[in-house]
Amino acid sequence: MTAPDIELNYVIDGPADGRPVLFVHGILTCRAHWLLNLPAFHEAGFRSITIDLFGHGSSPAPEDEAAYHPDRYVDRFAALRRLVEAERWFVVGQSLGAALTLNYAMSRPDEVVAHVVTNSHSAFGDPNRIGNPEAARERAQMMIDGGITAVMKHPLNPRRARAFSNEQRAQFDDAMLLSNAAGIARTMLHTSPYTPLRHRLPANPVDTLLVAGDREEAFTPAREWVEEHAANFMVERVSATHAVNISAADEFNRIAIEFLNRYM
């Protein structure tokens, strides 16, 4: 469902009296990214609020470039918090979603109890890794030209994850096939360039857990930077790929829930 001040597709699930948790996925996936996690969180007494980013899943794909800026997502997340009538809540972000939830948590720390993130080059990587704008435009145009087929075949799309059963993969595909390739391309062009956060993380005010997937070796320098420079961070390393919450779902669920339960 959507609401005017939220604009994004969202689903609320779990115990009605549960502690609310916002889950935000990364690029080239959708709210079905959390299929392997939500049952454990619900059983542990959490109420989940999952969203689709613009262009992903069932969310719209506005043409307005400004709609994709990370600061605009801050306003939408705050509107969701008000919708579920939570004075404060937990947030969980994956990859690009981690960059968006970090920006939200640092911008409105009085709204966030604690925060869990996974591998995120968007948030933690060297800002220079974004590369030149022309190359980004070429990648975005390839996405537009290739349409939903290019979205589903992209290496960052987690649909081929071995952890998914056939039924779960079919469920993921059903949700992801609703995506808009042009909206995903706009996310690449108008969200991703504004997500590097190294300049702000030494003053991060919210207790945050990074569940780091060590099998993504390219993320190691970013994880080491977080360990040395980011304020109020804990780091738990697991044997997992970039999509930590999928490739090591049971371990991610255990570690994340244990962390959030400290803030009963």
Domain count of the chain?
Answer: 1
Confidence of residue 142 (pLDDT cuts 50, 70, 90): confident
Note whether residue 205 is domain-resident.
yes
Note whether residue 93 is domain-resident.
yes
* Per-residue pLDDT tens over the stretch 6-41: 999 999 999 999 999 999 999 999 999 999 999 999
The answer to whether 208 and 199 have CB atoms below 8 angstroms apart is no
Note whether residue 85 is domain-resident.
yes
Supply 9's token pair. 């597709």
Domain span at residue 151 reads: 10-263
User: Residue 205's domain is classified under what CATH number?
Assistant: 3.40.50.1820
Is the pLDDT at 87 greater than 60, yes or no?
yes
In a 3-state reduction of DSSP, which class is residue 46? strand
pTM: 0.96
Note whether residue 4 is domain-resident.
no
